Amino acid sequence: MKRIRSVALFYNSNRRKALAYAAAIERRLRSAGARVRRVCVNDAPCEIEKADAAVAVGGDGTVLFAARHVIKHRIPVLGINAGGLGFLSGAEQKDFLTKTDEFLKGGFKKIKRSLLCVSVLRGGRTVSGPLPALNDCVLRSSEARAFTLRASYGGRFLSEYFGDGLIIATPSGSTAYSLAASGPIIMPDLEVFLLSPICPHTLTHRPIVLSAADELRVTVHGSRSGPQHLALSLDGQENFTLEPGDTVLVRRHARSFEMLAPRGFDYSDVLRRKLSWGER
């Protein structure tokens, strides 16, 4: 990786810890000779200028925000955890402050993560998208009523789901909402989709892993008790209203999200530390 001379610094102004971390990181970057542009995730919309790298200080939500805004510029992102679990973070703040010179010299490694490319079709035409999602896209009702979704994969009927909704996740998103819906953990270097039903009204519906080589279509059939509007959420941050008959088209995005991490970064270690994986 080439030397980093300019950095886009993302932070959440509603988090005191993130603000303090961002200030300390900005001072350290500037003292090492880097140009820094601050980007507050609470100020939307925002335009991101070209930078050699981005640093996202906060929880996974800050990294997800940064990912959507840098993808068109192909800017790699280093997540600095100042939130909760921080599955998308590549480093802790105290570690980064001691490795800033290594970071700016291009000594961190790039880890590619797959993205979803999501569009909404209504009456045969695209009304939303295509838009990227790093973790997941979720279809669910804003009302306490189950509804029907019809899914096809690779042009063939897959299944009909009746329940509270459906999560379509990337491997990165397998440790997010999908995990709470009893979905499996998937190693992040795999090119797959994960479909996890939300409270399905049948005991035989379980999460399924599909190759990302084909496209997935999910059509809204509504509630058995009458029409209802549904919500489509991308990474919990971009939200749209769906109507009966709408189809959500999901493909693998042509671009990847480039995550930065120190050379010794190991995903298995992340699982053990953050999920107490394998502990008795």
Answer yes or no: same fold for 6-114+256-275 and 116-252: no
The confidence score (pLDDT) of residue 224 equals 62
The confidence score (pLDDT) of residue 141 equals 85
Please calculate the CA angle 84-55-70 and round it to the nearest 5 degrees. 110
Q: Which residue has the tokens 């981005």?
A: 54
Q: How many CB atoms lie within 10 A of CB 5?
A: 12
The confidence score (pLDDT) of residue 202 equals 87
Q: DSSP letter for 84, please.
A: S
Amino acid at 65: F
Q: Note the CATH number of domain 116-252.
A: 2.60.200.30
Domain ranges in the chain are 6-114+256-275, 116-252
Question: What is the pLDDT tens value at each position of the chain, 280 positions in all?
Answer: 789 999 999 998 888 899 999 999 999 999 999 999 999 988 766 777 789 999 999 999 999 999 999 998 999 999 999 877 788 999 888 888 899 999 999 999 999 999 999 999 999 899 998 999 999 999 998 777 889 999 999 999 999 999 999 999 999 999 999 999 999 999 999 999 999 999 999 888 999 999 999 999 999 986 665 556 789 999 999 999 999 999 999 999 999 999 999 998 999 988 898 888 777 7
**Residue 65 half-sphere exposure toward CB, CA atoms < 13 A:** 24
- Out of 60, 136, 164, 235, pick the active-site residue: 60
- Look up 60 and say whether it is catalytic: yes
For domain 6-114+256-275, give the CATH superfamily. Probable inorganic polyphosphate/atp-NAD kinase; domain 1 (3.40.50.10330)
The confidence score (pLDDT) of residue 221 equals 87
Contacts of 36 (CB under 8 A, 6+ apart): 6, 7, 9, 26, 29, 30
